């Protein structure tokens, strides 16, 4: 039950924050840089698959260790690192292979991935530690 509570809390926080980020930053950041190579509409099946899989990664690599130690700050640190490495992999690969990808977009997106993942992992750990005993 703890892991389910953690997963759901992390999903709610990540979904809400990423929705806000994407709806406010899509035009000024992503559309500006990527323009014509962007799809007119997101592929929702792929997006949902990403979130479901990524949240499992957060659960395993950030929240689970926090539940073992009993300290949500473990989830925050491990979440920040997991987000940094995952987003760096994506962004630096794009920067290496796509003409339109910029250094500015890379740095901003990696920072966002670290903050987003740390926050979602913290919320998941706190939910599991405080709500489910």
Residues 79-106: tens digit of each pLDDT:
999 999 999 999 999 999 999 899 999 9
* CA distances, 109 to each of 6, 42, 101 (Å): 25, 18, 11
Which residue, chain included where needed, has tokens 């990808």? 101
Nearest partner of 84 among 117, 133, 127, judged by Cα = 117
How many domains would you assign to the chain?
1
Q: Which residue has the higher pLDDT, 70 or 100?
A: 70
Positive or negative: CA dihedral 56, 127, 108, 35: positive
Q: Would the pTM of this model clear 0.85, i.e. be above it?
A: yes
Tokens of residue 78, six digits: 């491990």
Domain that holds residue 31: 2-131
- Lowest mean per-residue pLDDT among 15-19, 40-44, 73-77: 40-44
**Per the structure block, which two tokens stand in for 58?**
């957060």
């Amino acid at each position: 039950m703890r892991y389910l509570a953690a997963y759901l809390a992390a999903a709610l926080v990540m979904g809400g924050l990423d929705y806000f980020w994407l709806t406010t930053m899509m035009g000024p950041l992503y559309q500006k840089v990527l323009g014509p190579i962007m799809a007119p509409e997101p592929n929702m099946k792929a997006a949902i698959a990403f979130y479901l899989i990524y949240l499992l990664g957060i659960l395993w690599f950030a929240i689970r260790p926090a539940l073992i130690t009993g300290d949500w700050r473990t989830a925050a640190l491990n979440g920040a690192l997991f987000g940094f490495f995952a987003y760096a992999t994506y962004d630096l690969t794009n920067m290496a292979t796509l003409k339109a990808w910029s250094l500015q977009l890379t740095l901003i997106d990696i920072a966002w991935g670290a903050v987003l993942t740390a926050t979602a992992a913290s919320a998941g750990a706190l939910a599991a530690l405080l709500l489910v005993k």
